[in-house]
Amino acid sequence: MFICHFCNNESSTILSFVQHVKLHRNVPKSGFRCAVPDCPHIFTKFSSLKSHIYRNHREHHQSAAKEHQAQMCDKTFKCHVDFCEVQCGTLTQLLSHLKSHIQSGLEIRCPFGCNRTFKGMSNLEEIKLAISSSLPGLSDETLQKFIHGLSVIGVETKDDLQYVKEEDLMEFLRPIQCRKLLNAWKNEEQSSCSTPQRSSRQVLSDISSPGSESSSSTPSRSTACFSASCAWAETFKVPWEVMPSEIKLAIANKKRPSPADRRKLVRMLVDNMQKHEVNPSKAQCQIVVQNIVKQYPDSFADVLSDGTKIGSGYASLLLQVKTRVEHVNRNNTLARRRKERLRSSCRTISQSSRRLADQYGCVSWQPEEFPSGENDDTLEEKRK
């Protein structure tokens, strides 16, 4: 057994020991001790420890590598999240799959058997980072009081910082610090919004229509288009009466359906959604999934064993539905969304439309009509 001197974790092979110690590589001012018996070497870098083991303890490494290779030949990596039944062929695929759970707001424990867990940055950590990046010299005690004061006045997320005023900060910071912090937040907000503003100006400049009329009608037009595209999703009725009896029984008993029944539900749900839209967007899928979770939270909401809701509560079901939509449309190029380029002669902003996608070659081969100013002679001239 190889014992980690950081946390006393026991590893059966030298390879698993190296993988475990890699988790401690960012510990400040620490030494990495070789776990091979009777080896006194200690290294300041993890890379040095790894090279030492592979060079000087080759017999341990080779035997562990053969054992590891034999285990990996017939091994599949199963996702250990409670409601997920995905099985991956390689460790790389498993880590990529776990990353999607972390991005959806779940807290995931390490798949190698240690006690560490991983999750996305919380709102409190984002606020703390926004403060410390602008005022790095702020003491920990002042920072904690400051964050508590912000929570008292109603700041819950990083986006709420744009509404904070100087008088709200005077209790915790000096006047210059207050102005410096507010100025940094203001510049960050402007930089994040500068790109969309430039693109909207370019769009409006390309549209040859009266300025005030165009600028006032464009947002309402885009809002109307979005509302129209999501109208069917708002009124969509899930055909519960044709669902398998196992799903209806689980809903009636306020229990979670089995993974196989849940997949059946997703397939039937997507089939009925395609009667309204061949390729439903993520926003449309989200509306349908939200209504399902709101109607039957005990059967479909993402919750822990103690009843705590995970993230939005519907991330896992939304991921399954959207993945199914993409799967059934994988060979349907006509169902893909493409946006037309804006021309100076256009009076309105083009909406999303469906057309043949040029996956290979050209979709308009030998057009019947020549471009303006072109004929057979000019094309032959260019060909030469």
pLDDT, tens digit, 9 for 90 and up, residues 37-49: 888 888 888 888 8
Calpha distance 139→141 (Å, rounded): 5
Beta strands in the chain (DSSP E): 2-3, 10-11, 32-33, 42-43, 77-78, 87-88, 108-109, 117-118, 337-338, 353-354
Calpha distance 376→383 (Å, rounded): 10
Residue 205 is predicted with a pLDDT of 44
Q: Which residue has the tokens 């849940």?
A: 262
8 Å CB contact between 331 and 338: no
What is the residue type of 194? Answer: S
Mean pLDDT of 274-282: 89
Calpha distance 270→262 (Å, rounded): 12
Structural domain boundaries in the chain: 2-73, 77-118, 123-205, 233-330
Torsion of the alpha carbons at 283, 286, 288 and 293, rounded to the nearest 10:
-160
Tens of pLDDT along 83-100? 777 888 777 788 778 777
Mean pLDDT of 333-346: 53
At residue 296, φ and ψ (nearest 5 deg) are -130, 70
Q: Which residue has the tokens 């990495």?
A: 32
Query: Which conformational region is residue 254 in: left (phi greater than 0), alpha (psi within -120 to 50 degrees), or beta?
Result: left
Calpha distance 293→272 (Å, rounded): 18
Tens of pLDDT along 191-211? 655 444 444 444 334 434 444
At residue 182, φ and ψ (nearest 5 deg) are -65, -40
Residue 56 is predicted with a pLDDT of 82
**CA 30 from centroid of its chain's CA atoms:** 34
Which of 98, 123, 79, 104 lies closest to 282, judged by CA?
Answer: 104
8 Å CB contact between 48 and 32: yes
8 Å CB contact between 342 and 201: no
Tens of pLDDT along 147-182? 888 888 888 777 888 888 888 888 888 888 888 888
Residue 289 has pLDDT above 80, yes or no: yes
pTM recorded for the entire structure? 0.35
What's the mean pLDDT when you consider all of the chain?
Answer: 75
